[in-house]
Chains A and B, each alone.
Chain A
Amino acid sequence: MRRIPEWRTDTCLRRHPDFVSYTESLLIVAFRLLPMTSVNAYAKEFGALTESAFETEACIRLEHTVSGFQRVPPKPQGDGGLDGFSHKGMRGYCCYGPIPTSFTKPKDLEKAIVAKFSSDLRRLCEVDTQKTSLIHKANEALPNILPVGAKLAEIILICNWFESHKIIGPLHTALPTYLKASKCNFVSPEADLQIIGPVEFAQRYYADELALYSLQSRTIIEKVKTSASTLAVAPPQGFDAKMATLKLIRPGKDAAIDGLAEDFRHDWRMNLAFEQELDETLPDLHRALQDGRRRILTRVNQRMLSSSEPWNELPEMVAEAREILRIEFGAYANMVDDVSNGEIARLIGICPIDWEAT
C-alpha cells in the first residue's frame, strides 16, 4: 500500500521498475485492440475514411491485392470518372467517400451516392443527360487512360457506406440505360457493375493485420498533420535562452538562428500532435514512443561524448532515431519516417540537448 503523502507531481514522473513490460506486447496489441477480426476492424476503419483519404486507401489496398491494378491520378487533368483499372482495362473501379455527418437523414446519403456513381457511369459511357434524354458526350480523359481497344466489362463501385439496399436498384438500372445510349467506346455493351461497401471491400481484398496496421498508420499521420497546424507551442524558457545563447556564440547569424528556431517549433508541434494522437488512440504505442525517446537520448549522449566533432553526430542521429523507433513501433514502423526528424527537434526543443560556449 502506498501512503497518501507520496502523491506529488514529482513522484508521478517516476516509473515503476517492475510494472512496465511493454515492448514485447507491441506485436500482440492488435489482437487486444478490438474484439473482432482484422477484416471487421479494417472495414470499420476504412468506412470511417472520407473523400480523397478514402479513395487513396482503396487504391493502396487494390494495388497490393489486384495484379496489374493501375491507379488514375485525379489531378490536374481529371480521372475520366475512373479511379483505377485492372485486368488490362477490362475492370474499372470508382470510389466515393461521402462525409456521413454532412447528411441528416440516411435517405439524403443514399441519394448522394446514387447521384455520384450515376455521374461516374455516365462519364464512362460517354453520355450526358439533356432534359429527359441521354446524349453523347465525349470523355477526353479515357483515351489516355485505358489501353487502346480496352473496354470495361466490369465496374466496381466502392463506397464508404453501404447500409441500404436503396442504392442498388437505381444504379443497376442506370448502367443498362446508359449503355443503350452509349457508343460503347470504352465500356462493353454487356458490362456489369457491382457496388461494394467497406465490409465487402475488406473481405474481398484480404484485409489482414498488416493492412489494418498500414491503414491505421496512414490515418494517424494525416490526422497529426492536420492537428499540428492548430497546435500552439509555448516553448519553455530554456528553449528561448538556448537560442539566445546561440546568437551570442555566433554573432551576425541572428536571421538564420531565428529561422532555425521556427523550424524546430514547427517540428515540435508535429511531434506534440503525434504524441497526443498516439496517447488517445494507440496507448501502447505511446508507451513505446516514450521508451524510444530514452534510447535515442542515450545514443545521442554516447555518440557526442565519444566524438571529436560532437555536433556533426547530430544529423546522423536522425537516421539512428528512425532505426530505434522502427524497432519500438514494430508493425507500425511505416509511420516512423514522418516523426523521426521531429524527435531530434523535440530533444533540442525541450532541452535535453543543450550547448554552452567553448
Chain B
Amino acid sequence: MSSHNSIQQLAELLQNHAKPVIRPQRLALSPIYDLDYRMAVIALAFAIHSTKTSEGEHRIDTSRLKLLQFVAQRPSLLPAMNQWASSKKTSPLLRGSSQRLRRGYMGDSTYDQVVEYMIACGILRPEGQYLALGRNGSYVDSIRLASEKESMFTQERFTLAELLRMRVTVAMLEGR
C-alpha cells in the first residue's frame, strides 16, 4: 500500500497548486507489437537459419522459426537458451531455469498471427510443418541486405548468429 500512500501524498501536494498535463504520446507501445518489426525479425531468422533442400529451396521448421524469433527479440534470454540447449547433456536435474523460456515461446501467439499475415502476403509459403519462401519471398533477402547495409537490427542479428551455435532439438521445439 506504500505506493497508494505516495499517490495520495502527491495528490495533496499538487491540489490547488498545479494543473495536470496529460501527455498520451509518452505512452509508447513496445515495438515488439509492431507488425513491421515482427516481420523483419522473422525474415532475418528465416534468412539466417533456413536450410536448403535437395531441390535448392530454402525452408525452416515453423516451430524452430517461432523459437528463434522469440529469442532474437529478447537477447537477454540467450543464457537461458544456452542452458536449455545444453542441459540434456549435463544433468537431468537441471530444470526450471529454462521453463520460463519454454512457456514464453510457446505462448507467443503474435508469431502465429504475423506468419499468417506473411503467408497471405506471399512472403512465406506453408509446406507441412515447414515454411518456405513464397512468390514475394524476395522480401526476406531485401530485409537481410538492408539491415546489414544500414546496420539495423544489430542486436537481433547478433542473437540469431549466436543461436546458430546452439543445438535446437525436436524435444526443445516441443517445449520439453
Q: Which residues of A contact B (CB under 8 A)?
A: 1-2, 4, 6-7, 9, 11-16, 19-20, 22, 25, 29, 32-35, 44-45, 47-48, 50, 100-101, 103-104, 106, 109, 161, 163, 238, 245-246, 249-250, 253, 256-257, 260, 263-264, 266-267, 276-277, 279-284, 286-287, 290, 293-294, 297-298, 300-301, 304-305, 309-312, 314-315, 317-318, 341-342, 344-345, 347-348, 350-358
Instruction: Tell whether A11 pairs with B32 under 8 Å between CB atoms, given A264-B6, A314-B10.
Output: no
Is there contact, CB below 8 Å, between A355 and B21? yes
Chain A residues with CB under 8 Å of B74's CB are 279-280
Restricting to B99-120, which residues have a CB under 8 Å from any CB of A?
Answer: 99-101, 103-104, 106-110, 113-114, 117
Is there contact, CB below 8 Å, between A256 and B142? no
Is there contact, CB below 8 Å, between A7 and B152? yes
Q: Shortest distance in angstroms between B56's beta carbon and chain A's nearest beta carbon?
A: 24
Chain B residues with CB under 8 Å of A48's CB are 95-96, 99
Q: Shortest distance in angstroms between B102's beta carbon and chain A's nearest beta carbon?
A: 8
B93 within 8 A of A: yes
Chain B residues with CB under 8 Å of A13's CB are 28-29, 31, 34
Chain B residues with CB under 8 Å of A2's CB are 36, 39
Chain A residues with CB under 8 Å of B139's CB are 1
| B16-60 to A contact mask, C-beta < 8 Å, 1/0 | 111111111011111111111101100000000000000000000
Complex-state Cα separation, A156 to B130, whole angstroms: 47
11 A-B pairs within 8 Å (CB atoms) are namely: A11-B34, A16-B34, A16-B36, A19-B114, A35-B106, A267-B2, A280-B77, A283-B109, A311-B14, A355-B19, A357-B18
B94 within 8 A of A: yes
Complex-state Cα separation, A141 to B3, whole angstroms: 39
Is there contact, CB below 8 Å, between B33 and A20? yes
Interface size in chain B (residues, C-beta < 8 A): 73
Is there contact, CB below 8 Å, between B13 and A280? no
20 further A-B contacts with Cβ under 8 Å, apart from A350-B27, A356-B21, are A15-B29, A16-B36, A48-B95, A100-B96, A101-B91, A238-B26, A263-B3, A279-B32, A281-B100, A281-B103, A283-B104, A290-B29, A312-B15, A314-B8, A315-B8, A344-B7, A348-B7, A352-B23, A352-B26, A356-B19
Complex-state Cα separation, A11 to B22, whole angstroms: 23
Is there contact, CB below 8 Å, between A318 and B13? no
Chain B residues with CB under 8 Å of A294's CB are 24, 27
Complex-state Cα separation, A256 to B76, whole angstroms: 37
Q: Shortest distance in angstroms between A301's beta carbon and chain B's nearest beta carbon?
A: 5
Is there contact, CB below 8 Å, between A19 and B4? no
Is there contact, CB below 8 Å, between B33 and A290? yes
Query: Contact partner of B15 among A6, A45, A47, A311, CB < 8 A?
Result: A311
Q: Shortest distance in angstroms between B31's beta carbon and chain A's nearest beta carbon?
A: 4
Query: Contact partner of A304 among B22, B103, B110, CB < 8 A?
Result: B22
Q: Which residues of B contact A (CB under 8 A)?
A: 1-4, 6-24, 26-37, 39-40, 70, 74, 76-77, 91-97, 99-101, 103-104, 106-110, 113-114, 117, 121, 123, 136, 139, 142-143, 146-147, 150, 152, 174-175
Is there contact, CB below 8 Å, between A297 and B22? yes
Is there contact, CB below 8 Å, between B34 and A12? yes
Q: Shortest distance in angstroms between B126's beta carbon and chain A's nearest beta carbon?
A: 18
Complex-state Cα separation, A167 to B20, whole angstroms: 65
Who on chain A is nearest to B113 by CB?
A19
Is there contact, CB below 8 Å, between B95 and A100? yes
Query: Contact partner of A263 among B6, B32, B110, CB < 8 A?
Result: B6
Is there contact, CB below 8 Å, between B18 and A1? no
Is there contact, CB below 8 Å, between B20 and A355? yes
Is there contact, CB below 8 Å, between A284 and B107? yes
Instruction: Tell whether A29 pairs with B93 under 8 Å between CB atoms, given A4-B142, A353-B22, A356-B21.
Output: no
Q: Shortest distance in angstroms between B2's beta carbon and chain A's nearest beta carbon?
A: 6
Instruction: Tell whether A103 pairs with B106 under 8 Å between CB atoms, given A6-B36, A34-B175, A290-B30.
Output: no
Chain A residues with CB under 8 Å of B108's CB are 283-284
Instruction: Tell whether A342 pairs with B3 under 8 Å between CB atoms, given A34-B175, A314-B10.
Output: yes
Chain A residues with CB under 8 Å of B77's CB are 280
Chain A residues with CB under 8 Å of B37's CB are 12
Is there contact, CB below 8 Å, between B99 and A45? yes
Is there contact, CB below 8 Å, between B39 and A315? no
Is there contact, CB below 8 Å, between A309 and B104? no
